Amino acid sequence: MDSISITGIRCYGYIGFFPEEKVLGQWFEVDLILGLDLNAASKSDALEDTVDYGRIVNTVQQLVKNSKFALLEKAAYTIATAILQEPLVQNIKVSLTKLAAPIPDFSGKVTIEITRAKEALVYNSFS
């Protein structure tokens, strides 16, 4: 399985448990690793044989900007599910980072990483 990494997607959104996070919003960073077969694109040199990176970035930015989730876990799952709708993408790893988590005496970041596969989504839709 080949992969495409798209890293450093910065988005402003309203993901958070606390009321002020839902009103004020904050910056997030998303990194993706898309699992897919790049054989056709490597031979044809044609965009239609791979994924459009710009469309992927736009999808992530719009989801983070326009969705309101209490948990990073739900936001990461929603991003994964949306990107897995791309016909060529077979699996995905999403890393979603809250750059300034409102935790007293903490100046670090919090990152959620999830990995999902297209087959698992199809199976789960029938469960």
Residues with active-site annotation? 98
Q: 118 φ, ψ to 5°?
A: -60, -40
**How would you classify the pairing of strands 2-13 and 26-36?**
antiparallel
50, 41 Cβ separation under 8 angstroms: yes
Whole-number Cα distances in Å, 66 to 4, 27, 62, 78: 25, 13, 6, 12
Report how far Cα 58 is from the mean position of its chain's Cα atoms.
Answer: 11
- Answer whether 53's CB lies under 8 Å from 34's CB: no
